[in-house]
Chain A
Amino acid sequence: YTPGNTASCQPDACHLFVCRWALEFVMDAEADGLVEVSEDGDPSRRRRVHGMLKLYYGLNEEGKAEEEQESLDPCDINGPHFDPEHYLNKLRRECSLAELMDQETCMVKQIRSLDSDMQTLVYENYNKFISATDTIRKMKNDFKKMEDEMDCLSANMAAITEFSACISGTLQDQHAQITKLSGVHTLLRKLQFLFELPARLNKCLELQAYAQAVNSHRRARCVLRQYSHLPSFKGIQDDCHAIMDKLAQELRQKFRDGGSSAKDLAQCVELLLQLDEPAEELCDKFLSHARSRLESDLQGLEAEIRPYPSAPAVKDFIDRGCNEFVSSLCLVIASYQELFINHAQMANGKLHAFVDDLAARYFSLVERRIQEEKGVGDNSLLVRALDRFHRRLQAVAKLLPGSPVPNKGIEIVIRAATERVKQYLAALQSFYMDSLTDVRQALATPRLSVAGASVAGELLSSLSASILNQIKSVLASVHLFTAKDITFSNKPYFKGEFCSQGVRESLVVNFIKFVCQSSRQFCESAGDKGGSTPPVLLLLLSRLCLDYETSTISYILTLTDEQFLVQHHSPVTPVTTLCEEAREAAQKLLNHYVKVQGLIISQMLRKSVETRDWVNTIEPRNVRAVMKRVVEDTTSIDVQVGLLYEEGVRKAHSSDSSKRTFSVYSSSRQQARYAASYTPSAPMDTNLLSNIHKLFSERIDIFSSVEFNKVSVMTGIIKISLKTFLECVRLRTFGRYGLQQIQVDCHYLQMYLWRFVSDENLVHFLLDEIVCSSAHRCLDPAPMEQSVIEVICERG
């Protein structure tokens, strides 16, 4: 490559350029149809040339060209497939003369403008070409001059190289000497440092710049050791040793004194470590210092544990513990680990023991404090305190990965939670017992007698509503333990066992069981005298238990399960078991109620039979007052039961059964029984009689289980009362009027009692039995006329 070559090339290119341009102009003109028909009109060849030109003119026209290529319309005057003849034909065919004229003028106009454009272009290009030729000529001259100058430069450079080689040859020796000298200089400076070292150390000691002293000594130490065989160095070494020992002594003193801040302490330890003090001893000392400080924190905490009212809130306590103890502990751990990082194995063991020991004491304090927390009012404080407690322990966990401390912390939290659940259970239980006491008082107030037993229904609903509310509020309180923003709530214990065993089993299920059990205790502890528990309460509780069985239990448990999303990993008490228990309790209470009420009426009847001289009594004129009392009491019991229990089914009875059935039934049978007793009968007769007797009646279970409805309850009470009446009558001996009095009394009872029972035949049978027995036990059995009895009873 030479500049000459380049210059010769240039004009050729320009020439070629001009030729191409000229050619294109011709082609375009042809294509535009300005030339009618060309002689060598091979369209494909023309297109090729056209395309080449376009290629030459550059990229910016290329896109457009390609676009145009795509229109295949031969009538498109700008299109590549333009066919002038076709176009002309088309025009001629399609356009009117005027349009043709227009087209023509338009076309002529376009041709003209193209023409002028072309001329301008040709002119411009020509100018450029001329100036290019000039430039090339000028360049040719300049290059020739430059070649000469370069030759001169190379000659000069050769001379310089020669000189330089000469100079370096002469300077070689001096350079070596200088290097040696500078080496000696450094050595001397080092030596000076060594000699000055004791003094420097002393000064540092004076200024208490321990870090600097240790640093200096460390730097000199190995040199001194290496040259210790030389007496002078030996001296220095000894001096240094002495000083450093003193220093170490001082450091140790400082370290031992404690008092200084954790940072100072850490620095001390660091320096001592650098002085090759035994790490183990340092660890121990460091830890013992830390311990004394932490212990003072603990003592401060301990002082805060005071009897409940004066002590600060549990949250404050935990806050203080966290801020003082836990954060200093973390600090100790962090600095310790930093200091003794080289002795990790030994140091970690010590650290763990240290942390475990202190944490254990801290935990015991925390636990003591938490145990003080007995009021169940606001659970959120405790939960927040526990949360704080747990959260801060995470820092320890991060610093000390293998430590059992966080786990113990969790255990404390768990214990606190279970303890809390227990307290809530106790609170629920006492609430329940308190409400029962309230109910008792409400029952005892004279209002009862005025408003009737309608109070019982209200009491029941308010009782069950308040219990339910209490359960809900307790659940809400306990629910705080599993709230999302509490750090320990995502622990597996709080997700699983706490919900299922803690809340569901030990709180809710136990409470329900307690309700059932305490209800059952009313049946047992009150003794059979039934004195202490008002019967209405028994009835009320029975209804409560029954309601629990039918709906409340499943509602409460569903509520719990929903709130706590209980996943039952371990078996839990199923709803059915609790329902059974509740039903059992309800049954027992109702049975007991029947017994108690039956007993009250029985006692009246019994006293009335036992205290009277039935042999020497006067002719009956009235129903005895006790019978009226019995009927009154029965009626009020009926009202009472009716408020809480449904009616129940009774066997269909005939209309006006108060009179007719009894009289017919009894008189006919009485006759038979009297007849039997009048004649001395063979054993056969009694057997026959009792067989007949058996045909009429089923065996009656007196103290049997009752159903949950009014009629069944009333039947139970009446059965017990009448059976007692019967047994008492059998133990007495009657005179004529005694028997008649019994007849009157029985008729009176018959008139009123049939309506309460499920099967009136039962009342007939028992009353009949009473009259028969008294007839048997009568010295002079002359029964009263039925009509007279009726008159007396109606009058009464």
Chain B
Amino acid sequence: MEDDAPVIYGLEFQARALTAQTAETDAIRFLVGTQSLKFDNQIHIIDFDDENNIINKNVLLHQAGEIWHIGASPADKAVLTTCYNKTSNSRVVSCAAVWRMPTDWETASHESPDDTAHNPQTLELLCHLDDSAHGNAACVLWEPMGDGKRVISLADNHALLWDLQESSTQATVSSTATLEGKGQLKFNAGKWSPHHNCSQLATANDTVIRGWDLRTMSQIYCIENAHGQLVRDLDFNPNRQYYMASCGDDCKVKFWDVRNVQEPVKTLEEHSHWVWSVRYNHSHDQLVLTASSDSRLILSNMVSISSEPFGHLVDDEELSEGEDNHQDDKSKEPLKDSVVSTYEEHEDSVYAAEWSSADPWLFASLSYDGRLVINRVPRALKYRILL
């Protein structure tokens, strides 16, 4: 079984922000936000044609500034949020905003696919998620599987819960939580838990991971020294409500059971530099993707702490029918946690990696030099999980 070669797409600008288009479940589509101080920044809409193994791109202008974070609405394909830096009067300010893509971006690009000189369309600003009282925005989180009405923005040491009204043109802060402590505290990253009715949020600041209850906006757990150095990213296991993954500057990926925060359930130490992103596969939570500034992307198979620790349960009848007995034997082998594959297509630090929302076996990764690589889970593993 030969695996398909990775597909590589190059952006002209450096880039850090990547997301799958969450609301889109048919097409494999990723959004990339660029970082350029001198030119108009862009949002690249990247469509991957699975059949023909080719990429179609569309570019929308994001003139507000360089994009540090991007998030797609789970309800409306056309709505997205960005966190961007704005320079004015030799001051750099981080802002966040909700945008809507122009309705006809798709048709426009299809008409003239080869015409690179045509003027790309501009994003339509829906509203700012700014509150001058609450500092620089680090990221904006959509309510998972929600109706696209609620977002959380993390700004310096505040977590702000926004209600979007009137088709997202108005945003009001419904509640806030503030991190208090010595020194200048600042949220690095956060994740809205899809469990417990979407009432929990996890945030990272420095080496600490905190859990928040959004109903009361109070802290519910705190993992001190979760990582030896800065925690860079978090993700919730989509199938096991108390399980969470984190990664950081100590090159480690740790898996936590938030009911017992003393010790991680599992620690991976495969990367040779800071790990910037960790992502659970949306359907098969044993598959974990990590991106690191050692220019590598690693796909791990964490069976032992997944929701299917014994693998897919296979009926005996099903097995007896099969001619290929050796494959049956394979499926009966005890499953071990292992690194499935290390992807070395990138040459610069990889800051983001995302699973596709449409195809659970496909993922994209983005390195600083603007290279986007689309890869698939190796077929052998895919079949082992499925069969």
Interfacial residues, chain A to chain B (CB-CB below 8 A): 527-529, 599, 615-616, 677, 680-687, 690, 693-694, 699, 701-704, 723, 727, 730, 733, 735, 776-779
Give complex CA distance A616, B91 in Å: 8
Q: Does B370 contact A (CB under 8 A)?
A: yes
Is B12 in contact with A683, judged by CB distance below 8 angstroms? yes
Is A779 in contact with B228, judged by CB distance below 8 angstroms? no
Q: Indicate the size class of the contact surface on chain B.
A: 35 or more
Give complex CA distance A703, B294 in Å: 9
Is A527 in contact with B228, judged by CB distance below 8 angstroms? yes
B229 to chain A, nearest CB (A): 6
Q: Which residue of B lies closest to A676 (CB)?
A: B12
B116 neighbours in A (Cβ, 8 Å) = 682
Give complex CA distance A683, B370 in Å: 9
Which of B87, B274, B347 has a CB less than 8 Å from the CB of A694? Answer: B347
Q: Does B83 contact A (CB under 8 A)?
A: no
With A686-B370, A779-B38 known, 14 other A-B pairs at CB within 8 A are A528-B227, A615-B91, A681-B12, A682-B116, A686-B371, A693-B347, A702-B293, A702-B294, A703-B271, A703-B273, A704-B272, A727-B293, A730-B368, A733-B37
Q: Which residue of A lies closest to B367 (CB)?
A: A690
A777 neighbours in B (Cβ, 8 Å) = 37
Q: Does B246 contact A (CB under 8 A)?
A: no
Given contacts A683-B12, A733-B37, A779-B37, contact A690 B91 (CB under 8 A): no
Residues 333-372 of chain B, each 1 if its beta carbon lies under 8 Å from chain A, else 0: 0000000000010011100000000000000000011110
Q: Does B76 contact A (CB under 8 A)?
A: no
A694 neighbours in B (Cβ, 8 Å) = 347
A-contacting residues, B226-256, CB 8 Å: 227-229, 250-251
Which of A527, A687, A702, A730 has a CB less than 8 Å from the CB of B225? Answer: A527
Give complex CA distance A779, B273 in Å: 28
Is B228 in contact with A686, judged by CB distance below 8 angstroms? no
> Sorted from nearest, which 8 A-B pairs have the closest CB atoms?
A528-B228, A683-B10, A701-B272, A702-B273, A528-B250, A703-B272, A733-B92, A690-B347
Q: Which residue of A lies closest to B292 (CB)?
A: A702
Which of A683, A776, A779 has a CB less than 8 Å from the CB of B11? Answer: A683
B39 neighbours in A (Cβ, 8 Å) = 680
Residues 108-130 of chain B, each 1 if its beta carbon lies under 8 Å from chain A, else 0: 00000000100000000000000
Is A687 in contact with B10, judged by CB distance below 8 angstroms? yes
Q: Does B9 contact A (CB under 8 A)?
A: yes
Residues 7-35 of chain B, each 1 if its beta carbon lies under 8 Å from chain A, else 0: 00111101000000000000000000000
Q: Does B90 contact A (CB under 8 A)?
A: yes
Q: Does B85 contact A (CB under 8 A)?
A: yes
Q: Which residue of A lies closest to B296 (CB)?
A: A699
Give complex CA distance A776, B37 in Å: 8
Q: Which residue of A lies closest to B295 (CB)?
A: A699
A685 neighbours in B (Cβ, 8 Å) = 12
Give complex CA distance A615, B93 in Å: 12
Interfacial residues, chain B to chain A (CB-CB below 8 A): 9-12, 14, 37-39, 85, 87, 90-92, 116, 225, 227-229, 250-251, 271-274, 293-295, 344, 347-349, 368-371
A723 neighbours in B (Cβ, 8 Å) = 273, 293
Given contacts A727-B274, A733-B37, A779-B37, contact A529 B225 (CB under 8 A): yes
A677 neighbours in B (Cβ, 8 Å) = 38
B209 to chain A, nearest CB (A): 15
Question: What would 13 A/B residue contacts be, using CB atoms closer than 8 Å?
Answer: A527-B225, A528-B250, A599-B228, A615-B90, A615-B92, A686-B370, A687-B10, A690-B348, A701-B273, A702-B272, A702-B293, A733-B87, A779-B38
Give complex CA distance A723, B273 in Å: 9
Is B369 in contact with A690, judged by CB distance below 8 angstroms? yes
B90 neighbours in A (Cβ, 8 Å) = 615-616, 735, 779
Is B11 in contact with A778, judged by CB distance below 8 angstroms? no
Q: Which residue of B lies closest to A685 (CB)?
A: B12
Give complex CA distance A684, B9 in Å: 10
Is B349 in contact with A727, judged by CB distance below 8 angstroms? yes
Give complex CA distance A684, B348 in Å: 16
Q: Which residue of B lies closest to A734 (CB)?
A: B37
Q: Which residue of A lies closest to B229 (CB)?
A: A528
A527 to chain B, nearest CB (A): 6
Q: Which residue of A lies closest to B370 (CB)?
A: A686
B225 neighbours in A (Cβ, 8 Å) = 527, 529
Is B251 in contact with A703, judged by CB distance below 8 angstroms? yes
A616 neighbours in B (Cβ, 8 Å) = 90-91
Which of A680, A704, A778 has a CB less than 8 Å from the CB of B12? Answer: A680
Which of B37, B91, B294, B349 has a CB less than 8 Å from the CB of A778? Answer: B37
Give complex CA distance A616, B90 in Å: 7
Is A684 in contact with B10, judged by CB distance below 8 angstroms? yes
Is B9 in contact with A599, judged by CB distance below 8 angstroms? no
A457 to chain B, nearest CB (A): 30
Is B368 in contact with A686, judged by CB distance below 8 angstroms? no
Give complex CA distance A682, B274 in Å: 30
Q: Which residue of A lies closest to B9 (CB)?
A: A683
Give complex CA distance A702, B296 in Å: 12
Q: Which residue of A lies closest to B66 (CB)?
A: A733
Interface centre among A527, A599, A686, A694 (most CB of B within 10 A): A686
B91 neighbours in A (Cβ, 8 Å) = 615-616
B273 neighbours in A (Cβ, 8 Å) = 701-703, 723
B294 neighbours in A (Cβ, 8 Å) = 699, 701-702
Give complex CA distance A704, B90 in Å: 40
Is A776 in contact with B272, judged by CB distance below 8 angstroms? no
Give complex CA distance A727, B347 in Å: 14
Q: Which residue of A lies closest to B344 (CB)?
A: A699
A98 to chain B, nearest CB (A): 132
B374 to chain A, nearest CB (A): 15
A587 to chain B, nearest CB (A): 14
Give complex CA distance A418, B38 in Å: 77
A682 neighbours in B (Cβ, 8 Å) = 12, 116
Give complex CA distance A677, B14 in Å: 10
B252 to chain A, nearest CB (A): 8
Q: Which residue of B lies closest to A704 (CB)?
A: B272
A527 neighbours in B (Cβ, 8 Å) = 225, 228
B105 to chain A, nearest CB (A): 19
Give complex CA distance A455, B348 in Å: 43
Is A779 in contact with B87, judged by CB distance below 8 angstroms? yes
Is B369 in contact with A686, judged by CB distance below 8 angstroms? yes
Q: Which residue of A lies closest to B369 (CB)?
A: A690
B229 neighbours in A (Cβ, 8 Å) = 528, 599
A778 neighbours in B (Cβ, 8 Å) = 37
B297 to chain A, nearest CB (A): 13
Interface centre among A528, A723, A778 (most CB of B within 10 A): A528
Give complex CA distance A682, B9 in Å: 12
Is A686 in contact with B10, judged by CB distance below 8 angstroms? yes
A684 neighbours in B (Cβ, 8 Å) = 10
Q: Which residue of A lies closest to B274 (CB)?
A: A727
Give complex CA distance A779, B89 in Å: 12
A727 neighbours in B (Cβ, 8 Å) = 274, 293, 349
Give complex CA distance A723, B14 in Å: 18
B83 to chain A, nearest CB (A): 13
